[in-house]
Amino acid sequence: MSQILDIAPLRSFVAVADTGGFQRAATSLHLSQAAVSQHVRKLEHATGRPLVERHGRGSRLTADGERLLTQARRILALHDETLRSFGRSDTETVVIGSTEHAAAQLLPFLSSQLARSLPEHRIRFRLDRGTGLREGLSEGRVDLALLLGPADDLRATPVGELDLTWYAAPTWQRPPAPAPLPVVAFDQPCALRSRALETLAENGIPAMVNAEAIQLAGVQAAVGAGLGVALMATLGQTPEGLLPRPDLPTPKPLPLAVWSRQGLPARTAAPVAEALRRLLGEPGAHTTSPRNTGSPRTSGSSHVDVEYAQGA
């Protein structure tokens, strides 16, 4: 038989189906869009049928494309299983996005858990704002994202809640009423900022945002300089140089969910969600985590990398 269905084109074809477009598929596979397009054309030449057609700003499979997709998944699964049986498999990179809130506690635990549950994967953490992570999911640049707030999307899997704590500098004094309470907050949009201001308003405490920052280190520095109080999610680990302020009203916890990009296999997403449920659901499970210095540290596993988005 002169026509051959090669593995690389099949992977590109499945990625186009899973992500809904050639550019997104190229991003998820770390290829150029031209390479992905060429791969699909090779499959169309081999099958003698059109497999992908334009649909609005994206792409969709034809009826023949849907038929090939089923077989392509089976071929790739058998191919990868065969290589694994000989101890020969490529290391797949999984990009997990997270905001900086509690990253110093969540990511070390998560990286150590995934080293055991996903040993064949290289884990890369990306720290970014929530809006950037959602864009990354849609564009295929991020595979999973840990996001605060309601899990009001089919891609989101709730994993628990993060308790929130007010922090201030040791020498900071609360201004007497009716002076507004100075607050240090992340730039908008930010779930923590909203929860802080809502909590104070619900308790009749006037407040003003006295300092803003785009990174956790900036928030902590401003609080340490005595510019106000800040609401943080630290899983009980007090940031160095700061003190909790139990005299301020207790805020409601913020829900945490794991969001998956379209087409990500459930077997990849499930260990992340399960590890976070275990961390957030077991009292004291996070007490061995390092102190929150504003820069998350990993467990030392060689298959874990951390990158910061510009301005995260």
Q: What percent of the chain has pLDDT over 90?
A: 32
* Sequence-ordered alpha helix ranges (H) in 152-215: 191-202
pLDDT digits 0-9 by tens, 120-179: 777 888 888 888 888 888 877 888 888 887 777 778 888 888 889 999 999 999 999 889
For the domain spanning 92-160+254-308, the CATH number is 3.40.190.10
User: What pLDDT sits at residue 306?
Assistant: 56
- Nearest one of 287, 188, 308, 310 to 236, comparing CA atoms: 287
Could you state, in order of their start, the residue ranges of all structural domains in the chain?
7-85, 92-160+254-308, 165-244
Provide the pLDDT confidence category of residue 291 given band limits of 50, 70 and 90: very low
Cβ atoms of 52 and 14 within 8 Å: the answer is no
User: What pLDDT sits at residue 44?
Assistant: 94
CB atoms within 10 A of CB 302: 8
User: What pLDDT sits at residue 195?
Assistant: 94
Half-sphere exposure in the Cβ direction for 34 (13 Å, CA): 0
**pLDDT above 50: residue 286:** no
For the domain spanning 7-85, the CATH number is 1.10.10.10
Bridge partners (DSSP) of residue 157 are 258
What average pLDDT score do residues 187-196 get?
90
CATH T-level fold of 165-244: D-Maltodextrin-Binding Protein; domain 2 (3.40.190)
Q: What percent of the chain has pLDDT over 70?
A: 86
SS3 291: coil
Same fold, 92-160+254-308 and 165-244: yes
Q: Which two tokens stand for residue 117?
A: 């549950």
Cα(172)–Cα(246) distance, integer angstroms: 14
SS3 75: helix
How does strand 243-244 pair with strand 165-168? antiparallel
Q: pTM of whole model > 0.85? A: no
Provide the pLDDT confidence category of residue 236 given band limits of 50, 70 and 90: confident
Out of 19-28, 33-42, 67-76, 287-296, least confident range: 287-296
